[in-house]
Amino acid sequence: MQIRRVLALCVAVMLAASGTSALAQKNNDKQQPKRSKAEQTDVETLLKVVDAAEAGQPAPSDVSITWDSNHFVKGQSGVTYIPFTVTVNNAPKPDAAVYIRVVDKDAAPPTPPPPPVADKDSKDKGKDKDAKSAAPPPAPSYPWSAFAFTQVPEGGKLSRAIALKPGNYDLFVAIKDKGIEQKNPPPAKVGLLRHELKVPDFNVPELVTSSIILAKSVEPMQQQLSPAQQEENPYVFGPMRIVPSQDNKFAKSSELQVVFWIYGAGEATGGKPDVQVEYNFHQKLTDGEKYFNKTAPQMLNAQTLPPEFSVAAGHQLPGSLVVPLTSFPEGDYRLEIKVTDKSNGKSITQNVNFSVSPS
């Protein structure tokens, strides 16, 4: 089997979640940009929708939002970078307001405010009650909370990203047609999605990998994106754009492209890791699985990595593969990826399913 790799491009993304620093600025729980009156009304509407959904009330269904996929990649400062894609059916046109909120399912409930304090020396008890009533409780703080005004792409595929610490979360995505400043505006179309996320911990001292991304294409970027462009293109990692497959279905005339990152590899010669990656393909048949083919092992060591690559510097080790599918019979497959750290003998195996179709 002939293969070619996108390793050189992946190595260029040594800090794979480089977009998280700019992305973090969009977590605007506390940073509120100046908005028009119509935009502020949109914000308040979406806040109420998500508040109600978080309290267990039925979600609006004028706009249907379904979850497609997400991936977990190690970010900076102990967080995990999570690009995700949803499909918006009956999408607002032409412009939409989007609100993303993440709630920590393991967090302790907020402390209730103290009771009102009465002033015994007051002569006017009625006024005293109003004046001395407890201050309103502080606004809740969320691990992620961000608004955006955007256009839903053709086909309804909307991609965004969040950055979270390891843990268990509820993710809310609310969307409505962007309001306009006019008398008697038409009723708003609103939709909401609630999705559970279990975020892994990539900061453990053991061999682990990011999510395995099966891509339609992996392309070099000609120029760096602005923060606003990065927000709308969460699968751009530095100089590399990944177009992930949403259904893991590929035509025989296309290629299977695999991208992921390896964490926790030991240090070997010259501060470099010594890692071997094996790719084994298994075909799924009616009577079970059958081994189909494999590639030559991919070596990631002092001989194959660039001189500047350093385990001590925290550079993220990429795994990558591009395989033409012309020799694959139509059907379903399991790709087994075995990563072995030859410096200490530790290994980890990941599996991902895909299918090959005529076109």
The helix or strand, by DSSP H or E, that contains position 159, with its residue range, turns out to be strand 157-164
Pairing of strands 249-251, 346-357: parallel
Phi, psi dihedral angles at 195 (to 5 degrees): -140, 135
User: What's the predicted TM-score (pTM) here?
Assistant: 0.87
Instruction: Provide, rounded to the nearest whole percent, the portion of the chain with pLDDT above 70.
Output: 82
CB 321 within 8 A of CB 257: yes
Quickly list DSSP for 164-183: E-SEEEEEEEEEEEPP-SSS
Q: Which residues in the chain show pLDDT less than 70?
A: 1-33, 109-137, 181-182, 185
CB 162 within 8 A of CB 102: yes
Instruction: Copy the structure tokens of residue 262.
Output: 């390896």
Domains contained in the chain, CATH given = 7-16+210-357 (2.60.40.2550), 20-110+138-199 (2.60.40.150)
Give 96's strand partners: 150, 177
Looking at residue 125, its pLDDT comes to: 55
Looking at residue 32, its pLDDT comes to: 62
Looking at residue 343, its pLDDT comes to: 92
Instruction: Copy the structure tokens of residue 125.
Output: 């008890």
